[in-house]
């Protein structure tokens, strides 16, 4: 059964005093290559009807995400995507890089004029990866399956997914051979075979490849 998102949770937070609600979701956490991304979509108390067909990005086809991403960006007051590179994942670890990418997205929203400290952030899942990356922390809530049930988080998911996918398509043109335009850096059989043949690129998470080989 496909769950359709609503803005009910956002409206509850607004009624409780949040001037803005910022839906947050991560993309690319499990990839072998490319950055990890955290998307954010901001809505205020006047939140209206969100784009028709909005879902968690994982439940949408690539063409549908491409259609919805600009609609989600237009629906939100502001949106942003923060990135942490494969090299940073190797250096700092994936959880720290989720926080780093989220911090970069928040800084972009701040630069756009969003009063972060008057906002409540909603993170998909049950783990707050963001607080430890921030010196001054706004209100942060975690919510399991928020990417499926909360419109702002679903929008953030779509925006981040399309942003990262386009980066991987561009990288595929620059560093051909790994099939990133299709696999987006995830560990498909063809991608793993290409790594075995060509070796890892500068955009691979080398610590992850070592772990994958030890498991194999």
* Digit-coded pLDDT (tens) for 115-167: 999 999 999 999 999 999 999 999 999 999 999 999 999 999 999 999 999 99
Mean pLDDT, range 91-118, rounded to an integer: 97
Residue 130 inside a domain? The answer is: yes
Domain enclosing residue 79, as ranges: 8-163
Q: pLDDT: is 210 or 174 the higher one? A: 174
Give pLDDT, residue 117. Answer: 95
What is the pTM assigned to this prediction?
A: 0.94
Residue 158 · residue 57 · CB < 8 Å: yes
- Provide the CATH number for the domain around residue 28: 3.30.420.10
Residue 197 inside a domain? The answer is: no
Residue 33 · residue 86 · CB < 8 Å: yes
Residue 129 inside a domain? The answer is: yes
Residue 93 inside a domain? The answer is: yes
* Digit-coded pLDDT (tens) for 7-60: 999 999 999 999 999 999 999 999 999 999 999 999 999 888 999 999 999 999
Binned at pLDDT 50, 70 and 90, residue 215 comes out as very low
Token pair, residue 82, equals 């923060």
Residue 168 inside a domain? The answer is: no
Residue 214 inside a domain? The answer is: no
Give pLDDT, residue 164. Answer: 98
Residue 207 inside a domain? The answer is: no
Residue 76 inside a domain? The answer is: yes
User: Given a cut of 70, is residue 213 above it in pLDDT?
Assistant: no
User: Given a cut of 90, is residue 93 above it in pLDDT?
Assistant: yes
Mean pLDDT, range 183-194, rounded to an integer: 96
DSSP 213: H
**Backbone angle region of 28, left / alpha / beta, with phi > 0 → left and psi within -120 to 50 → alpha:** left
How far apart, in whole angstroms, are the C-alpha atoms of residue 137 and residue 79? 19
Q: How far is CA 61 from CA 36, 39, 49, 147, 157, in A?
A: 20, 18, 22, 16, 13
What domain count does the chain have? 1
């Amino acid at each position: 059964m496909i769950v359709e998102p609503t803005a009910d949770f956002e409206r509850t937070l607004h009624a409780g005093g949040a001037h803005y609600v910022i839906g947050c979701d991560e993309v690319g956490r499990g990839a072998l290559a490319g950055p990890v991304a955290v998307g954010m979509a901001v809505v205020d108390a006047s939140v209206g009807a969100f784009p028709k067909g909005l879902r968690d990005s994982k439940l949408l086809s690539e063409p549908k995400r491409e259609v919805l991403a600009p609609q989600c960006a237009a629906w939100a007051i502001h949106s942003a995507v923060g990135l942490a590179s494969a090299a940073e994942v190797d250096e700092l670890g994936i959880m720290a890089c989720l926080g780093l990418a989220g911090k970069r997205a928040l800084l972009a929203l701040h630069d756009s004029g969003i009063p972060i400290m008057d906002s409540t952030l909603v993170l998909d899942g049950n783990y707050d990866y963001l607080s430890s990356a921030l010196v001054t922390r706004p209100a942060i809530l975690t919510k399991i399956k928020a990417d499926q049930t909360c419109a702002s988080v679903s929008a953030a998911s779509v925006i981040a997914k399309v942003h990262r996918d386009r980066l991987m398509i561009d990288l595929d043109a620059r560093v051909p051979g790994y099939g990133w335009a299709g696999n987006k850096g995830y560990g498909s059989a063809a991608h793993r075979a290409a790594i075995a043949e060509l070796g890892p690129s500068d955009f691979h998470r080398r610590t992850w490849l070592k772990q994958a080989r030890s498991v194999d």
